A and B are shown apart, each in its own frame.
Chain A
């Protein structure tokens, strides 16, 4: 039969001329590009990131303000008239002053001021930098460490697997927030010293590392299971049968097959870690003042909830938008990388 030696794809002229055929990665990329929801989500997310990166520019060149020092007796301009940033108040909750509300004027307290007279919009952008940085970097660390540990546990098995798996179980057995809170409370006061490296209590690295560590099992355990099933696959056996070293098999056969899973986890973990960071910062055990994050700004706004809700609502909205877009993007990445999921979606 000749059909066995001719190629299975329809013998169209384009298929014949194409020398190099599209690999799974490029196919996934094309699929992802066609996914409108994922692309819009990515666009919104990148817009948020860009805005937050431009925080210093906004602070100095647009709003002419300082996001990190209080401005108790300052004035600003509303409708062409100078007005005090903090007005004395007899009815307001808390500080006895009512900060200026949203002016919707990008140059003068766009979203109003917080209880210390600081520009909420500028703080929102700076806070976003920290929230996104902590979420993103801790997601990278968590996924990186989880990939190494999960793949090692699944591939080498035996004692290593037993030890690592129990370790994951122990970490995962604690409620996430309980563990994060305990770690934060301890480390914030004393800082963290590992050998020659010392991390101060107010460093951003503390929330990054704490959040990364507590979510490692979340990623590592499914990866371990995937590698466990990969290890039994015949193409891995073929590598062994050809005398390939473990390193070679891991690099050429195992990692390329688990990378899609890691890539799906990455945006989802960024969103999850950002939420965790916000929660910790809201509880004052994440980002430390005068540094800001969306969580700390929400906390700042608590006392003003009835008079100036925008201080709380704006960062809350940013958190929600970022988390939703990252999750939608993650779903898009998943269905682009997993053809079976795509089939299920179509059915």
Chain B
């Protein structure tokens, strides 16, 4: 496959960046007289994606992960804040101005059954981005379509098939091939395996990893499954109610979560080998995520947090660096500046079971 040299992106250079990103959706009020309410899907969120890395984004459903993904690739308009790509602000670009950016910035969707038009052949679906961006003449496009199919592990003879003739895993491969068509730099994958059978998930995840090596891709990998994210990510962002509550390099985050929410998420995921490392009592998340239309005062997580104190209701904790390379938005982070487990986490975690 032809592919330009990627000398322009040094390792570690920030490719995709969101600053104070906010996305509100208007919600119809419950009564006629009730004023207009807004759903704060993403609120004041900042993150940076570096070239070559895989940034995992985790959180429960309804925390704004998908909205974040769509904002990052500018599929929706942003309420406030900026999204920049290669240092260039793309927040207010028109659809026409965005077109060249879209070559480099692609999205892989969650539902492989909804993301492929049932009335178009696979070859037609895959050649569309090439037609839009002027890849070449008809023959060049046809050849590249075949290459793409083979790259994602499908058969080149599948070009004339319709989506309904494929299994879920194969469809997701087609979706990945479509994202790859114009040799993008960044792929935002919105829960790309959560709709697939567990046996197929691993194959598709490995495909993502292989493609990253082959084409020097940068991923933003959105998922609610911590196991999936750990498998592919080099760095992780934990989201809660539209905000980042913790960012850290993958392994330290899994070993010593810095935010009570991260800890709860990790412990709600069944994982045998963690038993020895973390001898603390399990803190299970109770109740539902609060309504993002009516968020709690102060810290958004305080209503479900076992460590919550009076300060948490009063003041919103800022995202700050509590240990090298680790940012936590909590008044009482669970890790010390040296990266060890904080004392109150040990004790409060112990009393957590008494609740």
Contacts and interface: CB of A to CB of B under 8 A. Distances in A.
Contacts of B121: 23
Interface in B123-177: 124, 128-129, 132-133, 153-155, 157-158, 160-162, 165-167, 169-170, 175
Contacts of A83: none
B344 interface: no
Nearest to B172: A4
A233 interface: yes
A34 interface: no
A158 interface: no
A23 B165 CA distance: 10
A238 B69 CA distance: 13
- Counting contact residues on chain A (CB < 8 A from B), the size range is 20 to 34
Q: Report which residue of A5, A23, A235, A237 has the largest number of chain B beta carbons within 10 angstroms of its beta carbon.
A: A235
Contacts of A234: 109-111, 114-115
Given A234-B111, A235-B114, A257 B170 contact: no
A243 B118 contact: no
Interface residues of B, number: 44
Interface string A3-17: 111011100000000
Contacts, number: 95
Contacts of A239: 128
A231 to B, nearest CB: 12
Contact of B153 (A5, A9, A21, A24): A5
B199 interface: yes
Interface stretch (B95-103, B278-286, B287-295): B95-103
Contacts of A252: 117, 120, 124, 128
B218 to A, nearest CB: 16
Contacts of A4: 153, 167, 169-170, 200, 203
B51 interface: no
B225 to A, nearest CB: 19
Contact of A233 (B70, B102, B114, B153): B114
Nearest to A230: B117
B36 interface: no
A23 B124 CA distance: 13
A244 B99 CA distance: 8
A178 interface: no
Contacts of A342: none
Interface in B84-123: 95, 98-99, 102-103, 106-107, 109-111, 114-121
A269 to B, nearest CB: 23
Nearest to A241: B107
Interface string A272-295: 000000000000000000000000
5 contacts: A1-B200, A5-B154, A24-B119, A238-B178, A256-B119
- Of all A-B residue pairs in the complex, the 4 with the closest CB atoms, nearest first, are A243-B99, A234-B115, A243-B102, A256-B119
Given A239-B128, A245-B95, A257-B118, 15 more contacts: A3-B167, A4-B200, A21-B161, A23-B162, A24-B162, A234-B110, A235-B117, A237-B70, A241-B102, A243-B99, A243-B133, A248-B132, A252-B128, A256-B117, A256-B119
Interface of A: 1, 3-5, 7-9, 19-21, 23-24, 233-235, 237-245, 248, 252-253, 256-257
